[in-house]
Chains A and B, each alone.
Chain A
Amino acid sequence: DSGVTQTPKHLITATGQRVTLRCSPRSGDLSVYWYQQSLDQGLQFLIQYYNGEERAKGNILERFSAQQFPDLHSELNLSSLELGDSALYFCASSSQPGGSEQYFGPGTRLTVT
């Protein structure tokens, strides 16, 4: 158990809909990272937050957004969903903003039908 929690575990929704994925980092970790894992693209970095502020952005679509709250939990919002958004979404956390040792949550499997 990495100490990172994610909810929900599974999510099935229709195209065009909006969903919110939630992540709680390990106790004491200030950095939260979101990754997308798909069969064709592998594990891809989406976005990082450190202590409530956006720190780095990767291959995140404009339809996606994230935030980190004062209690350090983070949410990833995916809107106008398309079939191609079906993937595993992972949250990871680390203690430092440039932390290499990132600890991953169990993921949310999103299926868009």
Chain B
Amino acid sequence: GQQLNQSPQSMFIQEGEDVSMNCTSSSIFNTWLWYKQDPGEGPVLLIALYKAGELTSNGRLTAQFGITRKDSFLNISASIPSDVGIYFCAGPISDRGSTLGRLYFGRGTQLTVWP
């Protein structure tokens, strides 16, 4: 099946620092999604990307759809304690140009922010 490789697996940063994480795939994706999951909660959709090269922001979060369509990046600027959680990249598979809906998820990047 599809594999999405996320790195790094974990990050320990100080409040106020910027964060970068990425996700790569061996297959082309037509859509990239970034989710955040807090302990004991469901994943929350942060950003959706639909076009190669697209750069989209949501507050302090910025995500980019890689030109090759095989990768995506998420940046968090000026981190705060509530940014703590697991960040997942995800993408739907396509069949003959049609998005099938099921999402493949990376294994996540665990972010810890020290005050």
A residues whose Cβ falls under 8 Å from a Cβ of B: 2, 4, 31, 33, 35, 42-45, 48, 55-56, 58, 90, 92, 94, 96-107, 109
Interface footprint category on B: 20 to 34
B residues lining the A interface (CB < 8 Å): 31, 33, 35, 40-45, 48, 50, 88, 90-92, 98-108
**Complex Cα distance A33/B104, Å?**
12
Contact A43 B105 (CB under 8 A): yes
A35–B105 Cα gap in the complex (Å)?
Answer: 11
Q: In the assembly, what is the distance between CA of A101 and CA of B31, in Å?
A: 9
Residues of A near B42 (CB, < 8 A) are: 2, 4, 90, 92, 104-107
Centre residue among B43, B88, B98 by max chain A CB count within 10 A: B43
Residues of chain B within 8 A (CB-CB) of A2 are 42, 44
CB distance from A26 to the nearest CB of B (A): 12
